[in-house]
Amino acid sequence: MTTEQRLQKIEQRLKRVEAILTQKIVLPEPLLEDRQWMEANSGSLSELEPYDWGPEGPPQGQPVHYDHQLGWVVEGDE
């Protein structure tokens, strides 16, 4: 295979990759309740309905918080 043929193959592959990468991806719209939670700021969270954890309730374990310098921290382990 000549250098010219190799370059043509590479260009063909690049065009296929470009076609894949430029496709429009359509995501489904979030549910109204999900949108309200995503758009709420911490000051308005009390206005929203409590989160529905389902029949099993909230997950078990220790509470955590995020520290910008440390990352996720398990409360009580500080």
Which element (helix H / strand E) includes 74?
strand 71-74
Residue at token pair 């894949």? 20
- Which residues make Cβ contacts (< 8 Å) with residue 75, sequence separation at least 6? 62, 63, 64, 65
Kindly report the pTM of this predicted structure: 0.33
36 burial type by CB count under 10 A (0-12 exposed, 13-18 middle, 19+ buried): middle
Print pLDDT tens along the chain (78 aa): 899 999 999 999 999 999 888 888 888 888 887 888 778 776 776 777 787 888 988 878 888 888 888 888 888 765
